[in-house]
Amino acid sequence: MRKKLFSSILLFLLLNILIKPFWILGIDVNVQNAVGAEEFGLYFAIFNFTFIFNILLDLGITNFNNKNIAQHNQLIGKHLSGILSIKLILFAVFLIVTFLVGWIIGYNSRSFLLLAWMCLNQFLNSLILYLRSNFSGLLLFKTDSLLSVLDRVLMIVFCSILLWGNITDKTFKIEWFIGAQTLSYLITALVALVALIRKTRIKRLTLNIPFSIAIIKKSLPFALLVLLMSSYNRIDPIMLERLLPSGNTSAGIYASAYRLLDALVMLSYLVSVPLLPIYAKMLKDKESVASITKLVFVCVFTLVSGIAITLSCCRHDIMTLLYTHHIEASSNVFGILIFGFIPISITYIFGTLLTANGNLKQLNILSSITLAINIIINIVLIPRLHEIGSAYASLAAQSFVAIAQVVLSFKIFKFKPDYWLLLKLSIYVLIIIGCNIALPHFGINWIMHIITVGIVMVAALFALRLIRVKDILTFVKKR
């Protein structure tokens, strides 16, 4: 099981390391530079608005399906037909709710036009995630990995043509970016659907009302959890756009700082995707999850803490490389936001474990408290500190929920604290901090700074025996 987990994680990471950097540095950044912070800020605020209500497209069905198919493979054919029918109905509900709330908070006609297209994109993305959950539940991680990057590859192709193909003399518009997303999601959804239909040999969609009600009832706890998590993760730019006179610009600055964090967080998310069905199967078979949780935590924490500390120290150079406007403001926000990479990654490990174990009530309570913390801090700090205030609110909320999930996991699974490991991790973090403080005094540029810290990270891992050569050789031998 451990071998399958890490081979799948390596494939996930390889594909995304190949695709993500060009998407972030070559496409997404250039779109914002082309349309400006204010225009992109409007897009980013509406995108996050639709993302919050995205749960209405799913109601937790994807997470439930991932766990359920992992434990009961034979149900995939029956579930596919019924759930696809449900998702079409949920799309109609999603449209009604988002447009109603958009009208209540005062969206104008242009905002509604962007909202309509982004609602369609959210539906297609939700459909892709559901279809992928079937491959993940069947432990077909290779297929899931390929599907996870297909939409991005297509977006890179379409946006590259629009940005640099000289097919028009008109200025790039944010609507073109949204249209490229729509076409990419549509093609990916069709590819995934055809592959799954061939796997299950389903011939037609059928709407089974009792089955639909049963699935939704079982999925509702997942739905509430995802709604709460989406809210405390995505509400910051929405509050900026609504609470400030220059809200679009502030949301755009926040977006420029958030973009790199969002890309990095995807690496932690990709680790959690195979973890959910693997945890579910191990718990069903009454296997201990202590060793695999410890191993994943050490690997993830040492990587993300080193990245967060280093990128925060190099924040101004990174923002200068990426953007042409609002560099100072973006770097200040980024220097705070990037530390959220650590607690977010921790929640992807322990939150996944608690989800697989069915501790949804506890997770929903923690998420409700986290959302309240985020909203309160935003209301207090946004009028005073603008986007900086939102960055502090996000970091505080993420830190609270990460610590709470770790404590809850130790209590439920009776994990024994490893104080020697905690001491070594603390020494590791101090080494990385010291290295980042010392390097600027040697007059090296920021790229060499990052490379040097990377070398120190690897050396510290082995020197402190956080990762042992013996473990790596054993893994390679098994492969």
Look at residue 6 and tell me whether its pLDDT is greater than 60. Answer: no
Q: Which residues form the domain of 353?
A: 2-416
Residue 283 vs residue 80, higher pLDDT:
283
Residue 108 vs residue 388, higher pLDDT:
388
**425 located within any domain:** no
Look at residue 394 and tell me whether its pLDDT is greater than 90. Answer: yes
Look at residue 478 and tell me whether its pLDDT is greater than 50. Answer: no
Look at residue 477 and tell me whether its pLDDT is greater than 60. Answer: no
**412 located within any domain:** yes
pLDDT tens profile 220-257: 777 777 778 878 888 888 888 888 888 888 888 998 88
pLDDT at residue number 81: 67
Give percent above pLDDT 90 in the chain. 33
**337 located within any domain:** yes
User: What is the mean pLDDT of the segment spanning 212-216?
Assistant: 69
**83 located within any domain:** yes
pLDDT at residue number 71: 61
Q: How many residues in total does the chain contain?
A: 479
Q: How many CA atoms lie within 13 A of 300 on its CB side?
A: 29
Residue 338 vs residue 208, higher pLDDT:
338
pLDDT tens profile 259-268: 888 888 877 8
**441 located within any domain:** no
Look at residue 215 and tell me whether its pLDDT is greater than 60. Answer: yes
Look at residue 273 and tell me whether its pLDDT is greater than 90. Answer: no
pLDDT tens profile 20-68: 777 777 788 888 888 888 888 888 889 888 988 887 887 767 766 666 6
Please give the model's pTM, rounded to 2 decimal places.
0.76
Number of domains in the chain: 1
Tokens representing residue 456 in the block: 């120190």
Query: Mean pLDDT for the chain?
Result: 83
User: What is the mean pLDDT of the segment spanning 288-307?
Assistant: 88
Lowest-pLDDT choice from 97-111, 136-150, 347-361: 136-150
**437 located within any domain:** no
**475 located within any domain:** no
pLDDT at residue number 96: 94
CA pair distance 118, 53, nearest whole angstrom:
12
Eight-class DSSP state of 1: -
**422 located within any domain:** no
